[in-house]
Structure 1
C-alpha cells in the first residue's frame, strides 16, 4: 500500500510539473494606466484576485500604458480579438456614439462614486449599457471610478456665481457645453499647456484630475483655490471583455470576474478618497482654499448640466436611452426634479 501511495503521489506531481494544471484561459488585457500609479495598483489587485479566486484557471497578461494600441483604440482591439479585454473608459468612445459619454462620465450627475455604482448595479445601468456595448461585440463587466475631480483656480470658486467669465482649461465635448451654459469660458487646450497658461494668466483655472492628482502635478504651486469635494466630473474606467470571450467563460468564472470587478471599484475609490483627504490636509496647511459647494449650489450645477444632456440625448437613440436611464435613477434618488 505504501508503494502504491508513493507511485500515485509521484505520478500526480509529474502531471502537475508537466502542465496538466495549466490555465484554461490566458487573457490579454490592456489599460492606459502605468503599473506604479494608484490606478495601476488597483488593476494589479484585480489581476491577483481573479487568478487566485479561479485557482489558476485564469491567467491575465496586462499590457500597461497602452502598450498594444492607443487608448482610444483599445475598445476596437478588444472587439476584434486583438485583445481579450480592456480597462480604459467608455468616454473614449464618444466618437462611435455619444451614448458612451454617459457610461464613462455622466458629468454633473452624481456626487460620489457610490451613487454611480448604485446606478450601475441597482438602477438598471449595467443592462442599459450592455445594450450598447454588446452591439460592438464587447461586454461591460463594471466600472472602477476614483471619485469626483477638483477644479483648480487662481480666484475663488465658492459657488455657481463664480463661474461667470471664469476662463479655464477644459477637455472638449460635454464639459465645455455645461460650463458655457453656466456663464464660464471653457478653453480647450492640451494638458501640457496648462502650467504656462496659468502662469501667464491666459486661463484662471483648469480641470485636470483629482485633488491629490492636481497636487502631484504642482498646480497648487501656481494657484491657491480648488473645489473639494468636487461636483462636476467623475470619470469611470471600465472592465470590458470581447463578447465571444466573455460568453466562453463558464458561469463560475464569469461570477468571479464580476466580484473581482466590484472589489476593484471599491479599492480604487478607497485609495483615491484617502489620497485626496491626505492632500486636503497638506494643501490647507499651505494656504490653499478649498470650496465644498452646498447642496443648493450642486443642485444648480446639476440643473445646468441637464440642459446640456438634452442636446446630447438628441444626437442618437442610444444617447437618449442612456440619458433617460440616468434621469430615472437621479429622480429615484431625489437628486433632480
Structure 2
C-alpha cells in the first residue's frame, strides 16, 4: 500500500450492536504545474482540483503547486518519479534529454492543425498507449493531455511567409523547433520562457515564440513588437498530467476514474476558453497597431516540409522516437490531413 493512501475506518453504533466497519479511502496527491494561478490554464487547473474534490465527496485531496513552486519546471517529472511530488502537470518536452520521443508527446511541430486533432490521437488514435510505454520506463503513468491551441510567432518586422524567416533572430524553446527554423534560415536563440520580455525589450532578439495571442498580450509583448502570426501554424505545445505509477495504481478505481474525467473536462474547457481569449485578444491588437499574418496554404506547406524532415531525423535517434513518429504519421494519414 502506498504511503500516500490513507485508510480510515468508521464504526456506527445502533443500540447495543455495531454495524460492520465502513472503510473510507482518502487519496492525497501533491501536484506541481508551471502555470501561474492567474492564467487561463491556472484558473482551469484550480477548477479541476475543485471538481475532483466535489465529485469524490472529499475523498480525493489535491495539493496543487503553481508556477513551479517546489522544483524547477524541467525537474517536475523527476520530482514526481522520486517521491518529492506525486504527479507532474507540466510538459513532456522538458524530458527530451531522457529520450527524443518526449518531443512528440508535447509538440509535433506542424503535425496537427487543431488541438482536437491532437487530443483525438491521444484518446482514440493509440497515443495514450504509446505515451505510457515511454513513461512507464520512468515509473510514471500518463493520465491525459491538455492544450489550448496554436501558438503565435511574434516579431519586430513582417513575417508573411518562409522568406521572412531568413536571418530572423528569435527566442525559441530547445529541441526540434530550433532545428526546423534554422533549416529555413532563421537564427533561433534558446532561452527560458521567463526571459522573453526582457530579451525583446533589450533587442537581444527580433522576435519570440512564446505562446498564443492572449498570453502574449498579457505579457506585454505587443507593446514592444507589432507583428504576429494568427492563426498559428508552427507550434501547439501540450501539457500533461502524469503520476507516479505506484501512487496511481494504489488508488481505488473510482478515484482514478474521477481524476481522468475531471482532466478531460479541463482539456475541453481549455480549448473553448482559448478560443474566447484569442478572439478577445485579436480585437485588442487591432487597436494597438499590431499586424497579423495568416500564412497561406503554400507557406504552411513549406514549413511542414521542413518539419517532416526534422521528424525523420528525430525518428532515427531512438526506437521509442521512431515508434512515436510512426504512430503520429499513421494517425494523421487516417484523418486525411
TM-score normalised per structure 1:
0.88
User: Residue 152 of structure 2: which of 145, 150, 153 is its match?
Assistant: 150
Residue matched to 1:160: 162
1:148–1:81 distance in 2 versus 1, CA, 3 Å: same
Higher strand fraction (1 or 2):
2
Q: How many residues align?
A: 319
Residue 320 of structure 1 and its aligned partner are, at CA, apart by: 1.0
Q: Does 1:63 align with 2:65?
A: yes
Residue by residue over 1:270-308, the C-alpha shift from the partner in whole angstroms, topping out at 9 and shown as x without a partner, is: 222211110101101222111112233222211210111
Output the CA distance in 2 between the equivalents of 1:242 and 1:254: 13
Output the CA distance in 1 between the equivalents of 2:250 and 2:197: 48
Is 1:23–1:59's contact at 8 Å kept on the other side of the alignment?
no
Is 2:115–2:271's contact at 8 Å kept on the other side of the alignment?
yes
Output the CA distance in 1 between the equivalents of 2:32 and 2:192: 24
Output the CA distance in 1 between the equivalents of 2:181 and 2:173: 11
Output the CA distance in 1 between the equivalents of 2:51 and 2:257: 12
Residue by residue over 1:210-250, the C-alpha shift from the partner in whole angstroms, topping out at 9 and shown as x without a partner, is: 11111122221222110011111111110111111111123
1:192–1:59 distance in 2 versus 1, CA, 3 Å: closer
Q: Does 1:43 align with 2:45?
A: yes
Output the CA distance in 2 between the equivalents of 1:212 and 1:45: 20
Q: Structure 2: any 5+ residue segments left out of the alignment?
A: 1-11, 15-21
User: Residue 76 of structure 1: which of 75, 78, 84 is its match?
Assistant: 78
User: Residue 272 of structure 2: which of 270, 273, 298 is its match?
Assistant: 270
Residue matched to 1:213: 215
Residue 312 of structure 1 and its aligned partner are, at CA, apart by: 1.3
Residue by residue over 1:183-219, the C-alpha shift from the partner in whole angstroms, topping out at 9 and shown as x without a partner, is: 2222234546545654565533211111111112222
Output the CA distance in 2 between the equivalents of 1:84 and 1:37: 23
Residue 21 of structure 1 and its aligned partner are, at CA, apart by: 8.1
Q: Structure 1: any 5+ residue segments left out of the alignment?
A: 1-9, 13-19
Residue matched to 2:18: none
Match of 1:26, SS state, is: strand
Residue 168 of structure 1 and its aligned partner are, at CA, apart by: 1.7
Which piece of structure 1 moves more, 196-205 or 65-74?
196-205
Is 2:96–2:175's contact at 8 Å kept on the other side of the alignment?
no
Match of 2:188, SS state, is: strand
1:255–1:227 distance in 2 versus 1, CA, 3 Å: same
Higher helix fraction (1 or 2):
1
1:63–1:157 distance in 2 versus 1, CA, 3 Å: same
Output the CA distance in 1 between the equivalents of 2:52 and 2:194: 36
TM-score normalised per structure 2:
0.88
Residue matched to 1:3: none
Provide the aligned C-alpha RMSD in A: 2.0
Residue matched to 2:133: 131
